[in-house]
Amino acid sequence: MRLLGITIAIWLIFIVLLAGVSAYGSKQDSQLELLGIDTCNSHPCFMNITPGITQWDEAHRLSQIYNGQEDIDYIRIDFGSTHNLDIYIEKSDLDAVALVTIHSQTSDSNRLIAGEFIHKFGEPCLVGAASPNFFRLVYPSILVDVRVIRVFSPTSSVYNIHLGASAIDLCANRLNPLVMADWLGFSSADRYLTFLREKNQAGN
């Protein structure tokens, strides 16, 4: 009977944890979609603007919904009053959108976090570290800059997102492999930094 009770308790804990993970995933998806970061026909996009596909005239039209300010080769959208976001949409030489950069300016409970991207877009192909406190997640056409305090965790704050054209595969190009590590999961900053140091030493 005692063994049966322990087994039931373990299953109850497992069910509670599973429910928590499901709720977390749903919440994070909603947050990303609320901010307009999603996929459009399998390509990363922002407010239905897809780098490498959306033409500049269409990007201009869509940006006006959010009072976008157009310059010669970029459009700026300020979501400071609602989401503390600053967005730059850059123009390519072919009159299409080349890049969308999203700067997050908040550190409150509505901030974007690394776990959202893992849930939405899967594991990154590479992870880089500019310093012990600033990491970069690399996807085929997305770069996500993350602030890290000792431990790189699902709740680490995101401060920059770069959406590029899918035709340029950032994973295949490897972005200077001597300063990039394969995805090691959420772990201590020291583990990544040690891995990167060893990789640099092996390359010298």
Q: Who wins on pLDDT, 32 or 44?
A: 44
The pLDDT, as a whole number, for residue 80 is: 59
Q: Is residue 65 scored above 70 in pLDDT?
A: yes
User: Directed axis angle between helix 114-121 and helix 2-34, to 10°?
Assistant: 90
107 inside domain: no
pLDDT in tens, 7-36: 444 344 334 334 443 444 444 445 777 778
Q: Is residue 68 scored above 90 in pLDDT?
A: no
CB atoms within 10 A of CB 146: 22
98 inside domain: yes
User: CA–CA separation, 198 vs 12, rounded Å?
Assistant: 43
Residue 66, C-beta contacts closer than 8 angstroms, at least 6 positions apart = 47, 77, 79
User: The domain containing residue 19 runs over which residues?
Assistant: 1-34
User: CA–CA separation, 195 vs 183, rounded Å?
Assistant: 11
Burial of 193 (0-12, 13-18, 19+ CB in 10 A): middle
The pLDDT, as a whole number, for residue 81 is: 55
Q: Who wins on pLDDT, 125 or 196?
A: 125
Q: Quick one: tokens of 163?
A: 């959406």
5 inside domain: yes
pLDDT > 90 in the chain, percent: 22
The reply to whether 5 and 53 lie within a common domain is no
Q: Is residue 6 scored above 70 in pLDDT?
A: no
User: CA–CA separation, 48 vs 68, rounded Å?
Assistant: 14
The reply to whether 126 and 174 lie within a common domain is yes
Domain total in the chain: 3
DSSP string, 22-67: HHHHHHHHHHHHHTTEEEETTEEEETTB-TTTSBHHHHHHHHHTTT
User: CA–CA separation, 163 vs 151, rounded Å?
Assistant: 25
pLDDT in tens, 96-114: 999 999 887 665 666 788 9
The reply to whether 120 and 189 lie within a common domain is yes
| Length of the chain counted residue by residue | 204
pLDDT > 70 in the chain, percent: 74
Which of 15-29, 53-67, 170-184 is modeled with the greatest confidence?
53-67
Helix or strand or coil: residue 152? strand
SS3 per residue for 75-144: EEEECCCCCCEEEEEEECCCCEEEEEEEEECCCCCCCCEHHHHHHHHCCCCEEEEEECCEEEEECCCEEE
Domain boundary, last residue among 102, 130, 150: 102
Q: Who wins on pLDDT, 11 or 65?
A: 65
The pLDDT, as a whole number, for residue 23 is: 42
**Single-letter amino acid, residue 194:** T
The pLDDT, as a whole number, for residue 138 is: 92
The pLDDT, as a whole number, for residue 2 is: 52
The pLDDT, as a whole number, for residue 72 is: 77
The pLDDT, as a whole number, for residue 32 is: 76
Least confident among 83-87, 129-133, 167-171, 189-193? 83-87
Look at the pTM and tell me if it is higher than 0.85: no
